Amino acid sequence: MTFDRSLKIAPSILAADFANFGAECAAVEAQGADWIHVDVMDGHFVPNISFGPATCAAIRPHIKGVMDVHLMIAPVDPYIDAFANAGADVITAHVEAGPHIHRTLQAIRGAGAKAGIALNPGTPVTAVEELLDVADLICVMTVNPGFGGQKFIDMTAKVRALRDMIGDRPIHIEIDGGVDPTTAPLVRAAGADVLVAGSAVFKGGTATNPAPYGENIREIRAAAE
């Protein structure tokens, strides 16, 4: 993974066909996805259960580019190696998920992955101020995590503050939640470079009819750029 601030669209497979993950990942990548975003939920940190390391390992051979694994779980540390071994390029933990986020980020890097920190809507940007030198990505949640298809919460001021704080450090700013052609331009203008989109990408298509995925991705990209 080489660092750049160009716009990247990262479809969330939480919105894909669960019975067909491999084909869905390949199809959405072929239609222009830059990264594949994998939402891991434990039914404890967030009120939903999704999938774990075995699913990541199973879809990894079907993903040519970056597998971006977002851990909405607590605790995080006992599972880092399993997700790294499953082929995660980026592993993102929530700043709210444990008392020692700095150690968690060090452990993610130690396992050979890029280290991400996620911030819930109610968490101030100052929560990551002391972590910028051990982070490769900061994910600003624009919904409360746990479910797909939620309404966008405007966090552009937070994104702008974060962009200023990062300066010239090679840190991605990722947006997760309610991204579509209407909201994408707001967060891109504020300084985000990775846009996670679930239902906005996967609506209208299937793995066997993936053309709508491409149309949706192009529409989000054009709006943001």
Residues of the chain with pLDDT under 50: none
For the question of residue 176 being annotated catalytic, the response is yes
What local confidence, expressed as pLDDT, does residue 53 receive?
A: 98
Positive or negative CA dihedral for 104, 177, 221, 202? positive
What local confidence, expressed as pLDDT, does residue 185 receive?
A: 98
d(CA 211, CA 221): 15
Predicted TM-score (pTM) of the model is 0.97
What local confidence, expressed as pLDDT, does residue 202 receive?
A: 97
Cβ atoms 218, 210 nearer than 8 A: no
What local confidence, expressed as pLDDT, does residue 40 receive?
A: 98
Instruction: Select which of 34, 176, 180, 193 is catalytic.
Output: 176
For the question of residue 39 being annotated catalytic, the response is yes
Instruction: Select which of 34, 39, 89, 193 is catalytic.
Output: 39
What local confidence, expressed as pLDDT, does residue 178 receive?
A: 94
Which of 138, 133, 135, 134 lies closest to 155 in space, CA to CA?
A: 138
